[in-house]
A and B are shown apart, each in its own frame.
Chain A
Amino acid sequence: AQKVTQAQTEISVVEKEDVTLDCVYETRDTTYYLFWYKQPPSGELVFLIRRNSFDEQNEISGRYSWNFQKSTSSFNFTITASQVVDSAVYFCALSETQGGSEKLVFGKGTKLTVNP
């Protein structure tokens, strides 16, 4: 079975605060990929990052950083110095191959509101 849990349903911060969005996953596969997608108020889903299960290096892209820890099955997303434009719903997703069949499963999402 596979599962992606985003325990934080909604987070509200003030501009310039740092915020971390949690993602915990479950899988029995040794090879899998993790993703983060952003859904701004306009509605489209935007790909942010992909990480494979063999690459535990943290990644930084501007104000965004991702912390992948296999030991705790977590793939957390941190926004540093948040801005109003970061307001969106963020989805964590897991893909894995089981029995020759691939699946991509999304978490329920975390709604981030950044207030001015």
Chain B
Amino acid sequence: DSGVTQTPKHLITATGQRVTLRCSPRSGDLSVYWYQQSLDQGLQFLIQYYNGEERAKGNILERFSAQQFPDLHSELNLSSLELGDSALYFCASSVDSSYNSPLHFGNGTRLTVT
């Protein structure tokens, strides 16, 4: 058990809809990362937050947004969903903001857009 909690585990929704994925980092970790894993693209970095502030952005679409709250949990909002957004979305946390620190991943949220 990594200590990172992601909810929900599965999500099925229709195109055009909006969903929110939630992540609670490991106790003591200040950084939260969001990754998208799909068969064709592999693991793609979306965005990183450190202690409530956006730290780095990767290949995140404008339809996607995220935030980290004062209690350090994070939410990833996906809107105007398309079929291609179907993927496994991982949250990871680390103790600091450096990519040199190992990431501890949650079990992921599997999003299916129909």
Q: Which residues of A contact B (CB under 8 A)?
A: 33, 35, 37, 42-47, 50, 52, 91, 95-97, 101-109
B23 within 8 A of A: no
In the complex with contacts A50-B100, A102-B99, A104-B99, A109-B42 CB distance below 8 A = yes
B14 within 8 A of A: no
- Residue total for B at the interface (Cβ-Cβ under 8 A): 20
Task: Taking A102-B98, A103-B45 as given, write out 14 further A-B residue pairs in contact, using a Cβ cutoff of 8 Å, ordered by the A residue number.
Answer: A35-B102, A37-B105, A44-B107, A45-B90, A46-B105, A50-B100, A50-B102, A96-B99, A97-B99, A104-B45, A104-B99, A106-B43, A107-B42, A109-B42
A44 touches B2 (CB 8 A): yes
B104 within 8 A of A: yes
Q: Which residues of B contact A (CB under 8 A)?
A: 2, 42-43, 45, 56, 58, 88, 90, 92, 98-100, 102-108, 110
A108 touches B99 (CB 8 A): no
